[in-house]
Amino acid sequence: MELKRVVVTGLGAITPLGKNVEETWQGLINGKSGCGPITLFDASKFKTQFACEVKDFDPLQFFDKKEVRKLDRYTQLAFAAVTEAIQDCGIDLETEDKNRIGVIYSAGIGGIKTFQDETGGYNAEIGPKYNPFFIPKMIADIAAGQISIHYGFHGPNYGTVSACASSTHGIIDAFNLLRLGKANIIVAGGAESAICEAGIGGFNAMKALSTRNDDMERASRPFSGSRDGFVMGEGSGCLILETLEHAKARGAKIYAEIVGGGMSADAYHLTATHPEGLGAKLVMNAALEDANLKPEDIDYINVHGTSTPVGDLSEAKAIKEVFGDWAYKLNISSTKSMTGHLLGAAGAVEALVCVKSVVEDIVPPTINHADDDLDPEIDYNLNFTFNKAQKRTVRAALSNTFGFGGHNASIIVKKFAE
């Protein structure tokens, strides 16, 4: 069976840097920090009092008041990104076969704010009193379900849940279903909104978050010596994936081609990456093999790069082993230094960044690095694209996402050519 080629025909995003793709992209290439004091709740008693929030989001732009009450913020953000992506790709929904359009929209946690609010109000003496929308508002698959219901898409429909690798796994699934001919179009992406008491408090308890309250805009500093944990972000990224055959038949514009995806497990620790990057090496090699590419075909790696002491170091080691001498000739950057860590939405937003880099031939930077803030175990001969975007031809870009539980996923985006 000959596998179909899969292309990206639409993009949508809402992030701490902007309410659409262009605002987000301009923020990235200009090295803008999306971090600031938490406004979504009173964080004054928490160890971490900052995050990368989506600013001035108004769900009433997308829903009426009655609908808003039925949707957790993570699903609301998903709709914002999907609305832009569907408009961008120019699908004529009146003429398309909706039985051949799928939705794979992922989250690592889902409606944690809804869960917190509902369970926090339980009174053991009075007895259970829950909102009937509690469960369908909270569950991590519901963004995918709501999107398919709203648009009437009857193709494959689900969400993948693998912590911070969730939406990359979802995009890989979409890629595989399309190249097997199981659909014509799949709306793929991820959304997350966990900036609430339970989210910040839970990650604080496990000492995963930066506590740099006195320097919050510079708190996310991947690959720097003084990095002390990740910065929570929220938002959503959406890619419209389509078989090349279908895209050409409807005259769609084509941004780039998805050419390979890899998956692996660290099988090592609940939350820490393997210190020698075992799973990271496996997953990058798997993606290269799937894409039928050599290491020297990759020009840019959007790394997982969360700004944690162990994670950044192990990923840098893995890149050196997989790419050999070529590791010193490609660009590496962590856009989490600007967006924060969007958890289950990170993979979708960062895959979108790779698409834009391939199209625009620009690599966004890793911000917040000082020349004297070094980790003696990191090889700074690698080009981490510190502090300033770099122009270069980006023939292909690889995006890494690694999740709690040792879940690893990598995807490769390539310039489109007939």
Domain spans of the chain?
Answer: 7-249, 261-414
Pairing of strands 101-106, 157-158: parallel
φ/ψ of residue 363, rounded to 5 = -105, 120
104 and 186 Cβ atoms separated by less than 8 Å: yes
What integer pLDDT is reported at residue 125 of this predicted model?
Answer: 79
The residues, any chain, with a CB within 8 Å of residue 72's CB and separated by 6 or more, are: 110, 111, 113, 114, 137, 138, 142, 193
pTM above 0.95, yes or no: yes
Q: Note whether 319 and 304 are within 8 A (CB).
A: no
pLDDT at 287: 98
Contact 210, 361 (CB under 8 A): no
Q: Following DSSP, what letter does each residue of 110-177 receive, concatenated?
A: --HHHHHHHHHT-BTTTB----TTHHHHH-TTHHHHHHHHHHT--S-EE---BTBTHHHHHHHHHHHH
How far, rounded to the nearest angstrom, does the alpha carbon of residue 55 sit from its chain's CA centroid? Answer: 18
When computed from its CA atoms, the radius of gyration of the chain, rounded to whole angstroms, is: 20
Looking at residue 18, the DSSP 8-state letter turns out to be B
**What was the pLDDT predicted at 370?**
97
7-249 CATH choice from 2.60.40.10, 3.30.70.1560, 3.30.1390.20, 3.40.47.10 = 3.40.47.10
- Residues designated catalytic: 164, 304, 341
Q: Name the architecture of domain 261-414.
A: 3-Layer(aba) Sandwich (3.40)
pLDDT for 335 equals 98
Is 261-414 in the same CATH topology as 7-249? Answer: yes
What does the pLDDT read at residue 129?
85
pLDDT in tens, the chain (418 residues): 799 999 999 999 999 999 999 999 999 999 999 999 999 999 999 999 999 999 999 999 999 999 999 999 999 999 999 999 999 999 999 999 999 999 999 999 999 999 999 998 777 778 888 999 999 999 999 999 999 999 999 999 999 999 999 999 999 999 999 999 999 999 999 999 999 999 999 999 999 999 999 999 999 999 999 999 999 999 999 999 999 999 999 999 999 999 999 999 999 988 888 888 899 999 999 999 999 999 999 999 999 999 999 999 999 999 999 999 999 999 999 999 999 999 999 999 999 999 999 999 999 999 999 999 999 999 999 999 999 999 999 999 999 999 999 999 999 999 999 8
pLDDT of residue 22: 98
**112, two tokens:** 């944690």
Q: % helix / strand / coil in the chain, to the nearest 5?
A: 35, 20, 40
The pLDDT of residue 293 is: 98
